[in-house]
Amino acid sequence: MKQVLFILLLLPLAAMAQNDNSKKQSDFTGWKMNDCLVYGLKELAKGENGVLKGAAAGRITPNTKVIYIANQSWLKDVPDTVNGIVYKYVDIDSNIKTIAAQVETKEAAVFYVSPFELKTNMSELWIFPIDIKKQKRKYVQEYPGTGYKMSFFFNYDPPTYEFRGTDAVVLE
């Protein structure tokens, strides 16, 4: 009987001594997949102060007024303006001369956002910077060799997404 009482007294102490191994990198939690996409776009607009600082380095400056995103069918319910920067979802090739002039003066930056990749409980969103280069008499899009992968963990109870970090991945 003394042993049972002793165990009941020590049980709360044992529960408090457990380490929390699930370290979040931000306070972001989202209910829908689109919340993760919107979070990524908001962090991109923060430039060097956001979690996508690697993607924004040298592209998003205090002079940047527009971020062009290559328009895709999965980009729905996305923001038009974040932190004073306007988002425009366009076909890059059809507007390439205008975009190139703005990128040259650092007034604009260009990115591609992948569809949200669902996996078991870790999901990914990729963001690729796009360079606009002049070759001979015309402009072309070029993707640098580095992509930025945002990882999200899906909790089943309660069903929410948590941001777990960003990795710069060199593509070969």
List, for residues 93-122, the tens digit of each pLDDT value: 999 999 999 999 999 999 999 999 988 889
CA distances from 153 to 23, 90, 115, 164 (A): 11, 30, 16, 6
DSSP letters spanning the chain: -HHHHHHHHHHHHHHHT-------SSS-EESSHHHHHHHHHHHHHTGGGSTTHHHHTTTS-TT--EEEEE--TT--S--SEETTEEEEEE-TGGGHHHHHHHHHTTSEEEEEEPPPB--SSEEEEEEEE-EEEEETTEEEEE--SEEEEEEEEEEETTEEEEEEEEEEEE--
Over residues 127-138, mean pLDDT? 92
Whether 165 shows a pLDDT value over 80: the answer reads yes
Please tell me the predicted confidence (pLDDT) of residue 11.
Answer: 46
Please tell me the predicted confidence (pLDDT) of residue 27.
Answer: 77
Please tell me the predicted confidence (pLDDT) of residue 157.
Answer: 85
Q: What percent of the chain has pLDDT over 70?
A: 85
